[in-house]
Structure 1
Amino acid sequence: MACALDLQAVAKQQGLRMSIGITEGSLFAGPVGGPSRREYTVIGDTVNLAARMMQYGRAGTTLASQRIKERVSQQFIFESLGKIALKGKADRLTAYLVKGEQGTHEEFITRHLLHEHPLIGREAELEQMRRIAADVRQGQLRLLFIEGELGLGKSRLASEMVREWISAGGVGYGSKCISYGRQVPYQAWREVIAALCDLTPTLTPARQLARLAAVIADLEDPPSQPGYWADRLPLLADVLGLEAPENNFTQSISSHLRRNNTFALIEALLRRKTQRHALLVLLEDIQWADELSLALAAYLAKALVDTPLFLVLVHRLMPSPDWELLTDIKTLPYVHTICLEPLSSEESLELIKILRGDRLLPAGIIPLLLNRGQGNPFFIQEITGAINHVTESQANQLDFNLPDSVQDVILTRIDRLPETEKLTLKIASVIGPSFLRSLLLAVHPLQQAQFRLSSQLDDLESEKLIRLEVPAPRWEYIFHNVITQEVVYEGLLLAQRRQLHRAVGLALEELVPDAVEQLAFHYHRSDDSEKALHYLKIAGEKARREYANYAAINYYTEILGYLRKRPATTNGHGMVSTDYWDMLMERAKLYNLIGQREEELEDLGTLGIMAEALSDDYRRAQAAKQWASLYEASGDYDSGLEMIERSVQLAEKAGAERLVGEGYSHWGTLLYLRGEYEIAQEYLHRALAIAQNHQDKHAQADCMKNLGIVVHYQGDYEVAHYFFKEASELWETLGDQGGLGNCLSYLGRVYYDMGNYAEAQKCYDKSLALHRTIGDRTGEGLTQRSLGKVQRTLGNYVTSLQLFKDALAINQTTGDRRGEAHTLYQLAFLYTRLAEYDTALSLLDEALLILREIDDAWALSAALIYYGWTLLEQGEPRQAKKYFEEVLKIQREIQQEVRMTETIALLGRAALAANDLSLADTCARHAFNSIINRGTQGIEHPAIIYLTCYQIMETQQKYEQAQEMLSLGYGYITAQSAQIDDPALQQTYLNNIPENRQILELMSANKKTSGAL
């Protein structure tokens, strides 16, 4: 059956259509024919029946007989065709259409549709969910949080929602997080994605990978990027815990890009599904979700805003670090929250009556039960169940001896079990909230377990302590509730737990050797420290590779705990060892990456002390270098410079020239950030020389790029062009598409500042293509913003608007706050050009709010210039003047002398409009001298300077200078327009830019006047 479905899948990929018939029965198989012509064949009525069913079926279908259906109904989905007439058969025969394999989707549906008792209360919550679901069916994304303490019925309410959604014809997927899975990347999404891709537990890993490849092949690749999604197959395999060989693409990207591309691929899968149906995705118990699962949920809540997706997250109180991953989306307008409260007394009483049935309760028990239950459905159910197990005469003696807690109720139930079943339950509790029968059998110490385990599990299921979640052949069970598992586990002695965890680890090594997170979990709780260390290191490295930084930190913390207890070795003793130092450094780097400064500070202090104890200059240098990174991230560049100087000195002492080079490079970066550009160049050149000496092309390219940034900031565009070109060639030689894309973007900025918009456009186009190829959404957003600037400068406002909007959408989806602010003020100035001043000012207010928060002085000055310019165009010169004066103050502080020319000219323009002729004259003279002596390179809008100086000088009756500025302005814009190949775009540049148009009109008027004279 599985083979038939795989054949159909392959045929579909190849564009073929075929029909398959499947039957089962007795037949003849063997050679037939004479001595000279013989063949092997199968003959019989069963073969004929299969052929007739094949002929009856339509192309692309698989038909099966009644007997086949009975044999494999647990593994496959069938649709009855009733009794059909087949050629050569007198009687009609029952046939079935094979729809597919039973998979996680069907398990999800079954889990939520089968309930013994009706939902009590929650009418208001159900009505709210129905309204939200109706919005989703209208094509709108909705995100719903269902919050509540343990036992209040979150899952039961979610099940009712699923039932109504499915009954209305909806499609739904879901999963439930488990308490020991917090370190497993994407654990909350595995079941959802497996169902999306039609994976089933019966498929071998090879067949699962083949099916993933087929699903990905159905996705539409971006334009001009064939094989785009296929390259990302190993990323999706990683999510599902499958081993797929890495390819050139996945090997070349950083852990951050690996995460971003994984998110984008899952987004594409969900988007494709929502094009066909409104989709429900339910994630339960997300208080136990890993960070990547939560980050993915937050990403999808923004990225899929234009799709009919109903994303429901169910949880108890969540840890603060995890909740922070969701804070950004909690305030979105399409996000709803349902906070469950305890049932009322009336609702609690109704639940008790349903649970008790026809049996009467002793007098006085109900008030006590209501008081103890406190409206908690789970507690009420457990206590009522306990009462149901005793006789009426015994119940009369229970008056005031009801259990005080749910845990006590569960312990009472467990105490009634036979010892063998207690043992089985204890072993299962060590495995976790869910467990496979095969794993339980492998761990079970009793020799007769293989003969009695099935009946024991049946008994435990009848006691409602566990339930079968996935039937044969997987045989996966789960505890009826997580409290049961916790109570049983807590009842074990520490020595028993360790022994059983080790046994589970040994069994997992045989059954699923690639499940490194589970192996790390169990060995960490065993007494086998060496295996615990082994798997913790593998799991930590995997988490870091997946950009699961919090999980990686937890793994490194656990590793450090083991190393602290280690006896003396050649590498040291306990904490004072190179192994401990290296692991602590990795954790410190991760703290730096996620911005946890206090934790990083503590680790760095320990690293410094340990490096001294080890008398290890190399590690002293590394620690000092990491201190410099901490200070840089905190904005304390002076302290950073002190530490990087110490790092270089120690690295030289240790003879570690590569580390010296890294130190010089970092030194140059810190000097640049502090505004000491000449000295920064000196140290970057030293770093470059060392990189060249070691033939380290990556380091060479990085140094070249940094040198380009420094000299570009100083306004030396020719030299910046040289460095960026050299760096680009090195990145291209290395095949580093990310490095090349970033460097081409920098090169595009140089061309833009030089006024060479055609070359800037080419660089940005290449950069955009590279960023898209590697799935670098942040780089894509930055490059689209840069392209928007080019098109705005050329007067092509329609194209510019779309580019800015696309960039802004990417910034907001990826949570790039700095990029969002930059795009907002660039988009705002486009609206200024379009004379939509209120819109422009509103966007600028948003940008300034972010920029003041993140302390980006350069961008702040740019946004303030546009604010003043907009006010000036709106007829408020006095207000505009205040903004230009603030900009000049900032530009002096950050040594932006070239850009000050434009600001001074705009200040003069505001002064002229406000009739402050003295200030206007001063500004015009300064701008005039600057542009005559320095030229226009580095000035974004030279034409406004020419026009402003002309107008002020005309007012001051300095006609000769005024005409000179007008002529220079005319020469500038005509020279720029001559570089534009497209005649239509040439006209937009000349006519859509207000200052360009005015200069042309003034020159035309002057020529007419001269002609008349």
Structure 2
Amino acid sequence: MRAGLAAVVAVHGLLSPPGETLAARVGIATGPVVVGELIGEGAAREETVVGDTPNLAARLQTLAEPGTVVIGARTRELIGGLFDLAELGMKILKGFPVPVRAWRVVGEGAAESRFEALHGSDLTPLVGREHEIGLLLEHWERAKEGEGQVVLLAGEPGIGKSRLVRALRGRLENEPHTALSHYCSPHHQTSPLYPVIGLLERAAGFAADDPAATRLDKLEALLALSADDVIAVAPLLAALLSLETAARYPPLEMSPHRQKERTLEALVNQVLGLAARRPVLAMYEDAHWADPTSLELLDFLVDRVQDAPVLVLITFRPEFAPPWTRHAHVTALTLSRLSRRQGAAMVARLSGGKALPPAVLDQIVAKTDGVPLFVEELTRTVLEANLLRDEGDHYALAGPLPPMAIPATLQESLLARLDRLAPAREVAQVAAAIGREFSHELLAIAAALPESDLQAGLDDLVGSGLVFRRGTPPQATYSFKHVLVQDTAYATLVRAKRQRLHARIAAALEQHFPERVQAQPELLAHHYMEAGLAEPAIDYWLRAGQRAITRSAMTEALAQLRNGLDLLADLPEVDRARRELDLQVASGVALMATQGWAAPEAGRANARARKLCEQLGATAQLWPVLYGQWVFHGVRGEHNAAQNVADEFLRRAQDHHDTSAAVVAHRICGTGALWRGELSAARIHLQQTLALYDRQEHHSLASLYVQDPRVAALSGLSWTLFALGYPEQARTRSREALDAARELAHLSTVAYALLFASFFEQYRLAWREAKDRAEALVELSTEQGFPHFLAPAMVIRGWALTQSGEAETGLAQLRQGLPGWRATGAGLYEPYFLGLQAEACGCLGAVEEGLEMVAKALDRVEETGEGWFEAELHRIMGELMLRLPKPDPTAAEARFGHAAARARQQGAKLWELRAATHLARLWKQQGRCGEARDLLTPLYSQFTEGFGSLDLQTARAILQETTASSEPKNPIPNISS
């Protein structure tokens, strides 16, 4: 048995010698262990043993021959599946006045069963569910054969979903299998993977006072049960559990989104790894309360269990719409209410077979209307009241039946039971404020009752069956039998007392459970919110949202941040703006991640944050807010708005003499100018970025502004210098950007550099290099979950394939990339992508379609002002006109001339040379060699580098061909129109 595993045993025939404790006899070492019944040799007595043992099962085997370790019913209930047991039936044992049911400990139970939480066994009698349990067993048999199954179990509250799950567990207890229980909670719907975290913590046997290293040891031991490579998995799940790993593992170098995906993948692999050893029953209860990330996990799990010995059982209320019904291996099952006959049979089971007076039975059956939980609670209410007299084999009325003696609703019945428990009611109220599950330690602090009163109240609640207990105080954990029981107890609290309780619970968590606060700040936020303390509630909702963002749980982050925003009205105006600013900044990040950089809601969040920055004079927060606005407008293709933001950014940075801000400001001004086709301005700004950038001082800017400014400036310069006519300098800058990005190891920066490099290689028509860069970006984007980089990478890879002879495949990828890009909310680069697609259409003979695309692209240029690719669009249109079934060389000549003129206006010498080369080729074909030579000669002579590039080689070849001609020279034509 692994060190630290909680267990409970009772030993028969192993009495300790005088002065030697049972703990010493069993061999206690270092971890939690033994609590339970000791069946003695002369008198019945119970001894509690608390200690640790690294290998309890092995020690037990050395202490006695097989068969001498015997446990009773109470211990059997507590240990669950931690040991393999052989039932001995009813046995007469010394010291016990009556025969007792006993089990022999055969050996250590399957290690995988340590995943399973231990539950109480005071269960409602199962009546009228023979068909349903038979169906579940049928699916279990299919799963055991390797045909994975998923059962969706729906039903209204109290209908018996959890009871049916427990019944299935009972039917399988003698079969080798692994049971994994996950419990969703209404108070943790914004806590990413809350059910999984609870399972892992229970399974690993974390103790409240475990140091971080011990918890990591326990986690690794747990993972060893299902993973071949624990080292690869442990850092991911340690991060999920908020465990410090720096002393043992290197940091996780991946984006939050990729980390989440890898974590989900690891969790699914854990289930499949366990299933490789023995069949797995994976239960997810109350999925209507599941957090979004847990639902993502279920998506992956449902997809992957089809060929594994796994039965996934998901329970939920009817209002939840499960998304998994499309799968052939998924079965939906809805629990109906019990019939009148079944309700009466359940009452008989609860009364121990003693008949109730017909009038009482009729009221119970009528009022409960076939809801099993109501049947149970109303029957217990009646039996606990003084309405009946036990006549041995039946009950009789103790007197006339009062008209309102039997409650009419489940809530009234539960309230009546709680009222009769008197002192326990206050304990139940405090517990209900904590949650459906609560620890003895937290309850003791929050309740502020004498320990004897607290323990008496808990014993009454456990004895009544309203609460289940695991373990022994003060390490015990409790849970309400049903969420409706918790709700009823909570509803008895008046508002003022409820708020005081939540405030005490929050204070107790802060003071005594800092690890839990760090791992679940949303829990503190909830309690402070319910306490009516808006200020700390907002602070914790902000912490929770920021933490969720770092885990790429953006949906949960948005919900948490909105909770904080909703509470702002409760703050004094003087405190409101600063807290709102922090919430809006974080919301902008989450919204851009979930809805895209160009999402309107993200734009509103950034706009509001900017207004608050100005109101508060919050300069430090203004820079990332302005950057967010620039990205928002720029990616939407709103270039005028983006330019206004960039200009303001630069002006403010200069006014504040803030060098770091100036670095970013010149970078976005330069990039924006490049998009608009203002190449000289772009070059100046981007070079200024490089001049101001200090590697030691500014390398951290990448985390604040998504990409490193130096890499972004180098990437933008590669485009700018190429268009200006400096192909070699441009290529050097592109390679510098890639090298710098890889040196930083900042993944978003690497992706940015690869994106610009793939575009750059396309510009210079180097399809092999473009394909290499694009495929590297596709791989990185897929691995890290970067849809905004994946889509343009697909476009460039598609273009490269059209150049390599795979035109149809390439065009398909081009067509796939543009909608994927638009799906992120982006409008930037659309003219460029349409132009590439138009060229591919022309290669495949779809010339008319290509011309329509170029026309759309030019309309977008006119609409947005994104002019950097405009000259190329006119050139592409000219090329397509020459490919028409009836070529139109006159119109093509005009387009080539317009392309050259537009490039000349922008100072884009290389675009001008490319357009002029196409025009010169056309003239040469028409026999106008002198005109062609006179057009190209002055352009070609302006270049001082890049003579090995395809553009200059092509131009030189045409010049040589036209020079060889005997045609006399003609003046250079006017192509400015």
Superposition TM-score, scaled by structure 2 size = 0.68
Tell me whether 1:388 sits opposite 2:388 in the alignment. no
Q: Give the C-alpha shift of residue 700 in structure 1.
A: 0.9
Is contact 1:588-1:603 (8 Å) kept? Answer: yes
Going from structure 1 to structure 2, the CA distance change for 1:691 and 1:863 (only over 3 Å counts) comes to closer
Determine the C-alpha separation between the residues in 1 that align with 2:177 and 2:110.
19
Q: Give the C-alpha shift of residue 189 in structure 1.
A: 0.9
Is contact 1:829-1:866 (8 Å) kept? Answer: no
Identity of aligned residues (%): 18
Tell me whether 1:702 sits opposite 2:712 in the alignment. yes
Is contact 2:117-2:203 (8 Å) kept? Answer: no
Among 549, 552, 562, the residue aligned to 1:547: 552
Task: Look up the match of 2:744.
Answer: 734
Q: Give the C-alpha shift of residue 416 in structure 1.
A: 1.1
Is contact 1:140-1:306 (8 Å) kept? Answer: yes
Among 174, 177, 183, the residue aligned to 2:181: 174
Tell me whether 1:883 sits opposite 2:846 in the alignment. no
Task: Look up the match of 2:435.
Answer: 432
Among 183, 189, 195, the residue aligned to 1:188: 195
Q: Give the C-alpha shift of residue 410 in structure 1.
A: 1.0
User: 1:351-384: per-residue Cα shift (whole Å, max 9, x none)?
Assistant: 4554456444555666655554344332333333
Q: Give the C-alpha shift of residue 484 in structure 1.
A: 1.6
User: 1:157-192: per-residue Cα shift (whole Å, max 9, x none)?
Assistant: 444455566666543312112233334332111244
Q: Give the C-alpha shift of residue 701 in structure 1.
A: 1.5
Going from structure 1 to structure 2, the CA distance change for 1:82 and 1:740 (only over 3 Å counts) comes to same
Tell me whether 1:397 sits opposite 2:391 in the alignment. no
Is contact 1:285-1:315 (8 Å) kept? Answer: yes
Determine the C-alpha separation between the residues in 1 that align with 2:330 and 2:58.
42
Report the number of matched residues: 823
Is contact 2:546-2:586 (8 Å) kept? Answer: no
Task: Look up the match of 1:63.
Answer: 61
User: 1:310-343: per-residue Cα shift (whole Å, max 9, x none)?
Assistant: 4443223669xxx8xx86x665665554454544
Determine the C-alpha separation between the residues in 2 that align with 1:780 and 1:860.
14
Q: Give the C-alpha shift of residue 236 in structure 1.
A: 1.0
Going from structure 1 to structure 2, the CA distance change for 1:278 and 1:444 (only over 3 Å counts) comes to same
Is contact 1:618-1:650 (8 Å) kept? Answer: no
- Give the AA of the match of 1:919: P
Determine the C-alpha separation between the residues in 1 that align with 2:870 and 2:602.
34
Determine the C-alpha separation between the residues in 2 that align with 1:863 and 1:544.
36
Task: Look up the match of 2:585.
Answer: 585
Going from structure 1 to structure 2, the CA distance change for 1:561 and 1:457 (only over 3 Å counts) comes to same
User: 1:41-65: per-residue Cα shift (whole Å, max 9, x none)?
Assistant: xx99999xxxxxxxxx9x9998343
Output aligned runs, 1:91-106, within 5 Å: 97-99=107-109, 104-106=114-116
Task: Look up the match of 1:973.
Answer: none
Going from structure 1 to structure 2, the CA distance change for 1:696 and 1:844 (only over 3 Å counts) comes to closer
Is contact 2:799-2:840 (8 Å) kept? Answer: no
- Give the AA of the match of 1:587: S
Q: Give the C-alpha shift of residue 727 in structure 1.
A: 1.5
User: 1:768-797: per-residue Cα shift (whole Å, max 9, x none)?
Assistant: 88789x866869978997998699679899
- Give the AA of the match of 2:853: V
Tell me whether 1:919 sits opposite 2:887 in the alignment. yes
* Greater CA drift, 366-375 or 775-784: 775-784
Q: Give the C-alpha shift of residue 650 in structure 1.
A: 3.8
Among 641, 644, 653, the residue aligned to 1:642: 644
Is contact 1:101-1:200 (8 Å) kept? Answer: no
Q: Give the C-alpha shift of residue 622 in structure 1.
A: 5.9
Going from structure 1 to structure 2, the CA distance change for 1:649 and 1:896 (only over 3 Å counts) comes to closer
Determine the C-alpha separation between the residues in 2 that align with 1:121 and 1:174.
21
Is contact 2:835-2:854 (8 Å) kept? Answer: no
Tell me whether 1:117 sits opposite 2:110 in the alignment. no
Among 206, 214, 218, the residue aligned to 2:213: 206
Task: Look up the match of 1:962.
Answer: none
User: 1:474-531: per-residue Cα shift (whole Å, max 9, x none)?
Assistant: 4211111112212222222333233333433444345432111344443444477776
Structure number having the greater helix percentage: 1
Output aligned runs, 1:382-531, within 5 Å: 382-389=377-384, 390-391=387-388, 392-393=396-397, 397=401, 402-419=406-423, 421-447=424-450, 449=451, 451=452, 453-470=454-471, 474-509=475-510, 511-516=512-517, 517=520, 518-526=523-531
Task: Look up the match of 1:966.
Answer: none
Task: Look up the match of 2:91.
Answer: none
Is contact 1:848-1:863 (8 Å) kept? Answer: no
Determine the C-alpha separation between the residues in 2 that align with 1:66 and 1:191.
36
- Give the AA of the match of 2:693: A
Going from structure 1 to structure 2, the CA distance change for 1:422 and 1:938 (only over 3 Å counts) comes to farther
- Give the AA of the match of 1:260: E
| SS of corresponding position for 1:107 | coil
Task: Look up the match of 1:829.
Answer: 809
Is contact 1:692-1:700 (8 Å) kept? Answer: no
User: 1:652-692: per-residue Cα shift (whole Å, max 9, x none)?
Assistant: 44444433443443445556666767655555445444435
Task: Look up the match of 1:156.
Answer: 163
Going from structure 1 to structure 2, the CA distance change for 1:501 and 1:80 (only over 3 Å counts) comes to closer
- Give the AA of the match of 2:664: E
* Greater CA drift, 377-386 or 608-617: 608-617
- Give the AA of the match of 1:282: M
Determine the C-alpha separation between the residues in 1 that align with 2:249 and 2:727.
35
- Give the AA of the match of 1:649: R
Going from structure 1 to structure 2, the CA distance change for 1:598 and 1:314 (only over 3 Å counts) comes to farther
Superposition TM-score, scaled by structure 1 size = 0.66
Going from structure 1 to structure 2, the CA distance change for 1:654 and 1:560 (only over 3 Å counts) comes to farther
Going from structure 1 to structure 2, the CA distance change for 1:258 and 1:854 (only over 3 Å counts) comes to closer
Determine the C-alpha separation between the residues in 1 that align with 2:740 and 2:290.
42
Determine the C-alpha separation between the residues in 2 that align with 1:98 and 1:929.
85
Q: Give the C-alpha shift of residue 588 in structure 1.
A: 3.9
| SS of corresponding position for 2:411 | helix
| SS of corresponding position for 2:128 | coil
- Give the AA of the match of 1:289: A
Going from structure 1 to structure 2, the CA distance change for 1:218 and 1:549 (only over 3 Å counts) comes to same
| SS of corresponding position for 1:501 | helix
User: 1:575-633: per-residue Cα shift (whole Å, max 9, x none)?
Assistant: 25x45534443334434433396765665565455445445666666655544444456
* Greater CA drift, 776-785 or 153-162: 776-785
Going from structure 1 to structure 2, the CA distance change for 1:684 and 1:384 (only over 3 Å counts) comes to farther
Is contact 2:502-2:531 (8 Å) kept? Answer: yes
| SS of corresponding position for 2:502 | helix
User: 1:905-941: per-residue Cα shift (whole Å, max 9, x none)?
Assistant: 78876x5xxxx3x23888999999999999xx999xx
| SS of corresponding position for 1:542 | helix
Among 682, 690, 693, the residue aligned to 1:691: 693
